[in-house]
Amino acid sequence: MNNRQFSFIILTLNEELHLSRLLNSISSLNASTYVLDSGSTDKTLEICSCYKVEVKIHVFENHPKQWDIALNSFNITTPWIIGLDADQVVSPELLSLLKQFKNEDYTDTDGIYFNRKNYFKGTWIKHGGYYPKYLLKMFRNNVGYSDLSEKMDHRFQVSGKTVIWKTGYLIEENLKENNIRFWIEKHNKYSDLLAEEEVLRMNRQLQQSVKTNLLGPPNERNAFFKRIWWAMPLYFRPLLYLVYRLVFRLGVLDGKTGIIYHFLQGFWFRLIVDVKIEELSKSKSHYNSYRFLINFLSLFALFYYFNIFYIGATSEGGIYSSFLDRHLNYIVAWQQFYITTAAQTLKTLGYAVQINSYGLSVENHSGFRLIYSCLGYGIMSCFAAFVIAYPKSIRSKLIFLSFGLLAIQLLNTMRLVLIAIYYKSHYVLNMDHHTVFNCILYVILLVISYLWLNYPSKKMTN
């Protein structure tokens, strides 16, 4: 009697080395099993016939599309589907969970994550972020789907609640990869797909469909980290990732074979992808990069040195202009704005404040003297030049520029308030308060700039 709770779908291409191993591991479940083959020329189809597996053929393009075809090719009537790769095996722990599975126990659930154990050349890759590794492999029929927003990595996705079987292990070991030539050739093909995908993403022709949430289910956490990866500089990120896997995720504990795997998969493969990204987008990306760099540096120099010039033109001596000083002196107005807002804030907090032309004093405290270098025109020039030069929509630029400049003003006012109350004439870690403030402000601007750069704009400017 067949299991009416779930069915299996398996993708194959010349999998005579693995398929019997997988089918034997699930045979006691008596579940309907379907195979979508990509045109095998070995004994894969004979094995399917021996196990009475229903087979259909479809030419392979990439994993996400192949899984999408597979989910729509078979007349599956069970309430749940389990999607597996041919080089995976259902462990005794997972087999036990599946034997006990009842649809009525999961009425509020759309998907179930299995925990994967990955092997390379007979060695379990336990560290480096590879275990635990949760994959959404079981999902409701007509609810789960293949995410087509990526070309290389495939994942099943559901919109509703998911659960994790932490002890429901899938054993994944591709025995063909015991020959390193096969591994290199396979990942060379994968690198083509991944590079094409990233170029499309850079050009805003491909958008991430999975919600990013660091505290969400595994698919959403993976999407969160992928977004960070895509924003990192090429060539630098493979090295950083290797260090992360070997050191911070203890990949060195996987021994010689494990370290080789982390180097190949975490560094070599990622480096090849970055090289191919640069090759695919070389002319356009280099042109855009150079144009952005030239525009940014030109605008920064214009803004910065205009402020320097204006300070000189409105200060007696040198290139002094009495007309600009008396009628168009935005430098003094800017200075007085800071003094006034800081004074008003201090008064609101209950401090006795006395204002003068260049600053203020606070009773029983130090106060401050506001010199031109404290206005923040350097960092504001840098921020404004970056936003204006970056290829985003004019509306997006105007909103972010206004928000950023206002944030700089407010943070500078806050700094002046704190100096007026707490400042003592000494250095912290060999840095004065100007340097400390600039470091903090640059970190804040980097964070909000990262969020802005990764927020999709409806209309991109050239």
Q: Are residues 363 and 395 in the same domain?
A: yes
Question: In the block, which residue shows the tokens 């180097």?
Answer: 263
Q: Are residues 317 and 193 in the same domain?
A: no
Instruction: List pLDDT tens digits, range 143-155.
Output: 999 999 888 889 9
Q: Which has the closest alpha carbon to 81: 48, 45, 118, 112? A: 112
Residues spanned by the domain of 376: 284-453
Domain assignment of residue 393, yes or no = yes
How many whole angstroms separate alpha carbon 406 and alpha carbon 401? Answer: 8
Residue 425 has pLDDT above 70, yes or no: no
Examine the fold and report which residue of 282, 315, 341 is the final residue of a domain before the chain moves on: 282
Domain assignment of residue 187, yes or no = yes
Q: Are residues 34 and 76 in the same domain?
A: yes
Helix (H, G, I), strand (E, B) or coil at 302: helix
Q: Are residues 354 and 245 in the same domain?
A: no
Which pLDDT value is given to residue 449? Answer: 73
Instruction: List pLDDT tens digits, range 228-264.
Output: 898 888 888 999 899 999 999 999 999 999 999 999 9
Residue 325 has pLDDT above 50, yes or no: yes
Cα–Cα distance list, 127 to 121, 122, 251 (Å):
15, 15, 5
Which pLDDT value is given to residue 209? Answer: 83
Q: What is the pTM of this model?
A: 0.64
Residue 93 has pLDDT above 90, yes or no: yes
Share of the chain above pLDDT 70, in %: 92
Q: Are residues 391 and 305 in the same domain?
A: yes
CATH of the domain at 158: 3.90.550.10
Domain assignment of residue 407, yes or no = yes
Q: Are residues 39 and 70 in the same domain?
A: yes
Q: In this structure, which long-range contacts are made by residues 178-182, counting pairs with CB atoms below 8 Å and at least 24 apart in sequence?
A: 178/121, 178/122
Residue 455 has pLDDT above 70, yes or no: no
Rg of the chain over Cα atoms, rounded to whole angstroms, equals 30
Domain assignment of residue 459, yes or no = no
Residue 186 has pLDDT above 80, yes or no: yes
Domain total in the chain: 3
- E strands, 98-211, in order: 111-120, 123-124, 134-140, 145-146, 156-157, 162-173
Q: Are residues 10 and 99 in the same domain?
A: yes
Residue 450: how many CA atoms within 13 Å on its side-chain side?
A: 12
Average the pLDDT over 296-305 and give the result.
90
Which pLDDT value is given to residue 289? Answer: 64
Cis ω for the linkage preceding 456 (within 30 of 0): no
Domain assignment of residue 458, yes or no = no
Which pLDDT value is given to residue 430? Answer: 46
Q: Are residues 333 and 408 in the same domain?
A: yes
Domain assignment of residue 461, yes or no = no
Instruction: List pLDDT tens digits, range 366-381.
Output: 888 888 878 888 888 9
Which pLDDT value is given to residue 435? Answer: 66
Instruction: List pLDDT tens digits, range 155-166.
Output: 999 999 999 999
The confidence band for 267, taking pLDDT boundaries of 50, 70 and 90, is very high
Q: Are residues 240 and 194 in the same domain?
A: yes
Residue 458 has pLDDT above 50, yes or no: no
How many whole angstroms separate alpha carbon 102 and alpha carbon 151? Answer: 34
Average the pLDDT over 325-336 and give the result.
89
Which pLDDT value is given to residue 451? Answer: 72
Residue 429 has pLDDT above 50, yes or no: no
Which pLDDT value is given to residue 219? Answer: 93
Domain assignment of residue 55, yes or no = yes
Which pLDDT value is given to residue 218? Answer: 94
Domain assignment of residue 462, yes or no = no
Average the pLDDT over 345-358 and give the result.
90
Q: Between 441 and 315, where is the model more confident? A: 315
Residue 406 has pLDDT above 70, yes or no: yes
The confidence band for 286, taking pLDDT boundaries of 50, 70 and 90, is low
Q: Map 373-415 to HEC letters.
A: HHHCHHHHHHHHHHHHHCCCCHHHHHHHHHHHHHHHHHHHHHH
Which pLDDT value is given to residue 434? Answer: 62
Q: Are residues 239 and 333 in the same domain?
A: no
Residue 431 has pLDDT above 60, yes or no: no
Q: Are residues 186 and 253 in the same domain?
A: yes
Q: Are residues 278 and 321 in the same domain?
A: no
Examine the fold and report which residue of 174, 199, 223 is the final residue of a domain before the chain moves on: 174
Examine the fold and report which residue of 218, 249, 282 is the final residue of a domain before the chain moves on: 282
How many whole angstroms separate alpha carbon 101 and alpha carbon 92? Answer: 14
Instruction: List pLDDT tens digits, range 407-419.
Output: 888 888 888 888 8
